[in-house]
Amino acid sequence: MDPITNEVLALLLFAAFCGGFVDAIAGGGGLICLPALVAAGLPPAEALATNKLQGSFGTLSSTINYAQKGHVNIREMGQGIAFTFVGSALGTLAVQVMDPALLKQIIPFLLIGAALYFVFGHQATDEDRQHRMEPLPFYFLVGTSCGFYDGFFGPGTGSFFTLAFVALLGFNLIKATAHTKLLNLTSNVASLIFFAIGGYVVWSVGLVMALGQFTGARLGSHMAMTHGAKLIRPILVGVSVIMTAKIIYDSPDNIVHIVIRAALESF
């Protein structure tokens, strides 16, 4: 990898600020930061690992802000943290020996489903609703599976966590977003540990970007708490749609990509 200039570092810092801001509200900050790292010249494995480093600071910042305002009690989240950590660690190990091609076929449909839920679902509001699962089975199922997915592939993890909190535990959107950030932090740290053991993290770049992430996430979480569902819902929908489009565009073998290409070629 060629040395990164100060000008490129400044652009990465700005990208991290924007990524932290968006991620604190609706997730999807990796849509900004990961392409920026690749464009800066980092190989794919180093880009993924460094993205986990800088992203951890963003989720830490937003988690602290949400906790200080009473939207998440970290001491009561032990089960969620434990199951998410284990899931993410297993996913990070699995991605080193397995091909995520199948997930690339399925995830766009799940993301569109999440977007439709947030558009039409009456539960996605500023008010808590009746829960449909108890915490222990919820964190075992959702924490482990979403943690594994984040360590294995990643795009849309925040949307899936938020959807689960709203639909299954009956959380309002601010509370769901706050708890999502804590579990995102957990999965980021677990994945980062295994990437660091493998020597993939570019610490000098990641720590510079961490400054932008921390500041952007602080501002983004403040905006989410100030404006509530009327801000979170449209950004969640927008991020889900953009992630879907990016996954389809980047995957020529995806069935949706194939259908769209065939339709365009028929004209």
Rounded CA separation 186/188 (Å): 5
Kindly give, in sequence order, each residue whose CB lies less than 8 Å from that of residue 45, ignoring residues fewer than 6 positions away: 198, 200
Rounded CA separation 20/217 (Å): 4
Q: Which two tokens stand for residue 122?
A: 């009456």
List the single range of 60-74, 80-94, 253-267 with lowest mean pLDDT. Answer: 253-267
Backbone angles phi, psi at 198, to 5 degrees: -80, -5
pLDDT of 186 over the 60 cut: yes
CB 190 within 8 A of CB 144: no
Rounded CA separation 103/225 (Å): 33
Rounded CA separation 147/183 (Å): 8
pLDDT of 81 over the 90 cut: yes
Question: pTM surpassing 0.75?
Answer: yes
Rounded CA separation 69/222 (Å): 10
Q: What is the per-residue DSSP string for 151-184?
A: HHT-TTHHHHHHHHHHHHH---HHHHHHHHHHHH
Q: How many CB atoms lie within 10 A of CB 145?
A: 16
Question: Which is nearest to 228 in space by CA: 111, 115, 66?
Answer: 66
Average pLDDT score, the chain? 87
CB 145 within 8 A of CB 82: no
List the single range of 42-46, 55-59, 89-93, 124-128 with lowest mean pLDDT. Answer: 124-128
pLDDT of 178 over the 60 cut: yes
Percent over 90 (pLDDT), the chain? 49
Q: Residue 1: what pLDDT?
A: 63
